[in-house]
Amino acid sequence: MNDLRSFESHAAGGDGLDRRSFLKAITVAAAAVGLNATAAGRLVEAALAGLKPSVIWLHFQECTGCTESLLRTSHPDLAKLILDLVSLDYHETLMAAAGVQAEETLHAAMKANQGKYICVVEGAIPTKDDGIYCRIGGKTALQIISEVAEMAGAIVAIGSCASWGGIPSADPNPTGAIGAPAALEGKTVVTLPGCPANPYVFLGTALQYVALGSLPALDDQGRPLFAYGRTIHEHCPRRAHFDAGRFVEQFGDEGHRQGVCLYKMGCKGPATHASCSTLHFGEVVDAWPIGLGHPCFGCTEQKLAFRVPLHDTVMIERPTPPDTYAPIHAEQGRVGAVAAGLAGLAAGAALGAGYRFARKLGSEPGPPPPPPGDEGVSP
Ligand code: SF4
Ligand code: SF4
């Protein structure tokens, strides 16, 4: 345990972030993931008082990409921030201990923090052939997760592998890989799918547990609504191109170079619930698939990732913007009429009808609709 703690910076005034930066970083991070000022204040108080929840981080069938993604952050140094807020008592990638010493560390942390620690699971759990495809210290992943989760205060599955099986569970799933919720049936497991999971989403979940002693509101798959409540499509910077019918037809064409919509290249953004479009990776601007010119792969969706071919298109949940949106192609001088409400709701409805195109985009979109007034206003 001591070996591991040498990786930690110390909260507020220690050798990590200075006190002022620490407070600012927590407040900003709390706001970014949806915690209000009161919760952020409680979090700061808890951190200053040295109240750090114990975290036991388990690794099973995975690539360690979720941990790597967390450690590659900066501005603020998110990994440092997380390590300032929690006591990372067991993490096989980061700890120097090995073998018997590591096993002892795990059991000591479980005993000392019984009923209070956060059990973080990274990686899938193989079940085929009595789980022999992942054994650590003579125990199968299934045995380990059952033991550690039994005494935990909260359980978090980080990444798609831990959430439902991810890559290891792709057809034909030779090891019978499943996620933590399936392995721990009947227990509440917060799932943070993503390949890798966004570190901010983990931070948000950990912050709430530290500050309020509760878990965030979850959807029916255990995903926090603050991060998975909306689709990529709803906040995509290329959305205006989708609405205008401007699509990349093949990689490298003029549309691709100009950064128009990737729907026809198989973008799964319309069916993928995640926050990547607003919380980029590593705090690098545009460091997410669509920002780099590649379609969203749907890595947070069990029914899409590693199952639906990369370039197959998906059905569109919400094909048009709300009817009240101003047209993006309105001729100059005529938007004002809409904005002023000249045509009112009736014009809005007519405008929306003009925009609506095939749900699957089977037909080529026509030219933008004429501004209100040219085609008359429906009663
Ligand atoms: S979800 Fe992706 S990045 Fe995370 S451990 Fe699994 S394969 Fe690696
Ligand atoms: S289809 Fe994909 S690229 Fe196009 S607007 Fe939606 S999320 Fe963005």
List the helix and strand counts (H, then E) for the chain. 15, 9
Residue 329's pLDDT is: 53
Asked if residue 273 lies in contact with residue 301, where contact means CB atoms within 8 angstroms, the answer is: yes
Residue 77's pLDDT is: 63
Asked if residue 121 lies in contact with residue 162, where contact means CB atoms within 8 angstroms, the answer is: yes
Tell which residue, 86, 101, 95, has the closest CA to residue 55: 86
| Residue among 57, 60, 68, 167 whose CB has most ligand 1 atoms within 8 A, to mutate | 167
Residue 201 CB contacts under 8 Å (≥ 6 apart), including other chains: 33, 192, 194, 224, 227, 275, 279
Is residue 195 within 6 Å of ligand 1 at its C-beta?
Answer: yes
Asked if residue 241 lies in contact with residue 247, where contact means CB atoms within 8 angstroms, the answer is: yes
Distances (CA, A) of 55 to 46, 111, 152, 238: 16, 13, 9, 38
| Chain centre distance of CA 338 | 37
Ligand nearest to the CA of 177: 1
Give the global pTM: 0.79
Residue 75's pLDDT is: 57
Tell which residue, 180, 184, 275, 189, has the closest CA to residue 233: 275
Asked if residue 181 lies in contact with residue 164, where contact means CB atoms within 8 angstroms, the answer is: yes
Q: Which positions of the chain have pLDDT values less than 50?
A: 1-15, 333-360, 362-379
Is residue 167 within 6 Å of ligand 1 at its C-beta?
Answer: yes
In the chain, the largest separation of any two C-alpha atoms, in whole Å, equals 80
Residue 51's pLDDT is: 67
Q: Cis omega (within 30 of 0) on the bond before 172?
A: yes
**Closest residue CA from atom 1 of ligand 2:** 263
**Closest residue CA from atom 2 of ligand 1:** 195
**Cα(277) to centroid(ligand 2), Å:** 10
Residue 205's pLDDT is: 85
Q: Which residue has the tokens 């000591």?
A: 108
% helix / strand / coil in the chain, to the nearest 5? 40, 10, 50
d(C-alpha 217, C-alpha 22), whole Å = 26
d(C-alpha 231, C-alpha 281), whole Å = 17
Atom of ligand 2 nearest to the CA of 241: 5
Is residue 159 within 6 Å of ligand 1 at its C-beta?
Answer: yes
Residue 287's pLDDT is: 87
The pocket around ligand 2, CB under 6 angstroms, is made up of 232-233, 236, 238-239, 242, 261-263, 267, 269-270, 290, 296
Q: Residues 266-287: pLDDT tens digits? A: 999 999 999 888 888 877 888 8
Ligand nearest to the CA of 271: 2
**Which residues lie across from 118 on neighbouring strands?**
55, 154
**Which residues lie across from 206 on neighbouring strands?**
none
Residue 151's pLDDT is: 96
